[in-house]
Amino acid sequence: MARIPHRYAHVVTALLLSGLMSCMVPGISTLRSIGLADILLAKWMTNWAWSWSVAFPAVLVVLPVVRAIAARIVAPPPPRPSP
């Protein structure tokens, strides 16, 4: 299987992260608003599509900022011992 070049890792990360998160949140919200109705899946997928269209570009913009903030909060890894 062909793999995506490493230079696109940040885009793949943003795509997967935004896809998963934007799937879960509308799913919970839709379930809470309409309950276990026959149209739940259709409404959920519609809401997911709208959410993902906003979430993916947002994650592309916000993720580098979040990583920079996290790097300031989290201690650097300890140095590796020499062999």
**pLDDT > 90? residue 8:** yes
pTM of structure: 0.73
Alpha-carbon distance 25 to 31, whole Å? 10
**Which of left, alpha, beta for 35 (phi over 0: left; psi -120 to 50: alpha)?**
left
Q: Scanning the structure block, which residue is given the tokens 């809470």?
A: 32
Q: What is the pLDDT of residue 49?
A: 94
Contacts made by residues 73-82, CB under 8 angstroms, sequence distance 24+: none
Can you give the residue ranges of every domain in the chain? 32-61
**pLDDT > 90? residue 83:** no
pLDDT tens for 11-62 read 999 999 999 999 999 999 999 988 888 899 999 999 999 999 999 999 999 9
Q: Taking each helix axis as running N to C, give the angle between helix 9-34 and helix 40-73, from 0 to 180 degrees, rounded to the nearest 10.
A: 130
Q: What is the pLDDT of residue 37?
A: 87
Q: What is the pLDDT of residue 77?
A: 87
- Most distant CA pair in the chain, distance: 62
